[in-house]
Amino acid sequence: MRKSSELFFVSSNVHKYDEAKRILDSFGIRLSFLKSTLREIQSDSIHEIATLKAKDAFAKFQRPILVEDDGLFIDSVGGFPGPYSSFVFKTIGNEGILNLLKESRDARFVSVITYCDNTVLQCFDGMIHGNISMSQKGRGWGYDPIFIPVNSEKTFAELDCKDEISHRYHALENFSSWYLSNQ
Amino acid sequence: MRKSSELFFVSSNVHKYDEAKRILDSFGIRLSFLKSTLREIQSDSIHEIATLKAKDAFAKFQRPILVEDDGLFIDSVGGFPGPYSSFVFKTIGNEGILNLLKESRDARFVSVITYCDNTVLQCFDGMIHGNISMSQKGRGWGYDPIFIPVNSEKTFAELDCKDEISHRYHALENFSSWYLSNQ
């Protein structure tokens, strides 16, 4: 890894970049954006999807990159929507998820941040447990209006402190510790 | 294409092979089975998924192969579960689909049969319109117990003639016309 090399977040989702940038800023790491849709494989393993996507992103841009894969995993429906969270959000959306669930509403949000440069490929995980709300609350993107983290009564969309407790925060914190100690 | 070359159906799903074999038998085409899990990409285009999977299968086995990609597309939920029908079936299942839907239940089943050998890569489509039943009926695999084809009051799982009207039948009929005229 080259000292102080510029770091790029590759994604088609500007919301993810905005969050990642704010979080990495707090660790003193500067992040730039490469808006790009990357090919993803179908797999039940979020790590397999993440690893191949990161290799693809590095092959495309030949710069040190970060990609993120995340998913909402609802226990009572076998981890649905899991690795296909984006597609499920685009089709059935939050209302669909709410119609689907009955009593058991335990869920977890998982984030895998993958770093790739010309010598290193490494994944960093973050997770937060919680449950699915009975209705949408707050204004936020993705599943934020229906996810209530453990120890909270508010959804991610209602919380001011999401950036400090989220799955994405924990994954980026793990990445930052490693990145800063290797510079 | 070599005359009378052996033809292999590559899939991890023996139910699909059984159906394809019965249907192709009726057209005088002999089909063998190569049980294998192939890598699939995430895409909203079933043709893109099918084409890359067929190339992958041919690269792996170096024999004339057929692969099938199919999906159930429900209009009122943006084509869900679509290309991710297998994953959705494994997780929320037919009960999940039934919980999700309200009044509008129009759906279509789509099959893409893709042939690949050392010179040809070609897709053949089949489709059947219908709607999603109010409850599961009949014994069948996948979404058959909840799909009622147009002009029927029975689900695919209850019908004796599924093999003669299904999306898979239409795709394989298209393939057979082409295959037999090119031998």
Neighboring chain A residues of B83 at a CB cutoff of 8 Å: 87
A70-76 average pLDDT score: 95
Active-site residue (options: B56, B69, B70, B144)? B69
Selected for mutation to probe chain B from A92, A97, A100, A104 (highest B CB count within 10 Å) is A92
Contacts of A82 in chain B (CB under 8 A): 87, 91
Comparing CB atoms, the residue among A40, A79, A100 nearest residue B42 is A40
Strands (E) in A12-120, as ranges, are: 31-35, 40-42, 65-74, 80-81, 106-116
Show residues of chain A in contact with B41, CB under 8 Å. Answer: 39-42
Nearest Cα to Cα of residue A145 among A155, A160, A159: A155
- The interface predicted TM-score of the complex, written ipTM, equals 0.76
Residue A2 has pLDDT above 60, yes or no: no
pLDDT band at B4 (very low <50, low <70, confident <90, very high): low
Give the DSSP letter of residue B105.
-
Beta bridge partners of B134: none
Q: Rounded mean pLDDT of A95-100?
A: 94
Q: Return contacts of A125-129, CB within 8 angstroms, 24+ apart.
A: A125/A170, A125/A171, A125/A174, A126/A166, A126/A167, A126/A168, A126/A169, A126/A170, A126/A171, A126/A172, A126/A173, A126/A174, A127/A167, A127/A170, A128/A165, A128/A166, A128/A167, A128/A170
Sign, Cα dihedral of A140, B88, B93, A108: negative
**Between the CA atoms of A35, A37, A38 and A40, what dihedral angle is there, to the nearest 10 degrees?**
140
A44: how many CB neighbours lie within 10 A of its CB?
Answer: 14
Nearest CB neighbour to A79, from listed B49, B77, B91: B91
B104 and A CB contact within 8 Å: no
Q: How far apart are CA B54 and CA B38, in angstroms?
A: 9
pLDDT tens for B7-58 read: 999 999 999 999 999 999 999 999 999 999 998 999 988 999 999 999 999 9
Give per-residue pLDDT as tens, B119-136. Answer: 999 999 999 999 999 999
Beta-bridge mates of residue B119: none
| H helix count then E strand count, chain B | 6, 8
Confidence grade of residue A59 (pLDDT, cut at 50, 70, 90): very high
The residue of chain A with its CA nearest to that of B97 is A100
Q: How far is A176 from chain B (nearest CA, A)?
A: 29
> Quick one: tokens of A115?
């770093």
Of all residues in chain A, the percent with pLDDT exceeding 70 is 98
Q: Note the pTM of the prediction, 2 decimals.
A: 0.83
Residues 6+ apart with CB under 8 A from A1: A64, A117, A119, A120, A182, A183
Quick one: closest CA in A to B95, which residue? A100
| pLDDT at residue B61 tops 50 | yes
Give B80's contacts in chain A (Cβ within 8 Å).
Answer: 87-88, 91-92, 96
Give residue A1's pLDDT: 52
For chain B, domain boundaries: 7-181
Which of A39, A42, A77 is the closest to B96 by Cβ? Answer: A77
pLDDT at A4: 55
Q: How confident is the model at residue A178 (pLDDT cuts 50, 70, 90)?
A: very high
pLDDT (tens digit per residue) in A100-140: 998 899 999 999 999 999 999 999 999 999 999 999 999 98
Chain A residues inside the 8 Å CB shell of B82? 87, 91
Say whether residue A77 is in contact with chain B using an 8 A CB cutoff: yes
Cβ pairs A/B, distance under 8 A: 67
Domain A7-181 has CATH 3.90.950.10: yes
From the list B44, B49, B92, which residue is nearest A77 (CB)?
B92
Question: A5: pLDDT confidence band, cut at 50, 70 and 90?
Answer: confident
Burial of A68 (0-12, 13-18, 19+ CB in 10 A): buried
**pLDDT for the residue B1:** 52
The Cα–Cα gap between B109 and B156 comes to: 11
Q: What average pLDDT score do residues A18-30 get?
A: 95
Helices and strands (H, E) in chain A, number of each type: 6, 8
| Range in A122-126, B78-82, B101-105 with the lowest mean pLDDT | B101-105
Q: Cβ neighbours of residue B37 under 8 Å, at least 6 residues apart?
A: B12
How large is the average pLDDT for residues A83-106? Answer: 93
| Average pLDDT taken over every residue of chain B | 93
* Whether B75 is catalytic: no
Which residues of A are the active-site residues? 69
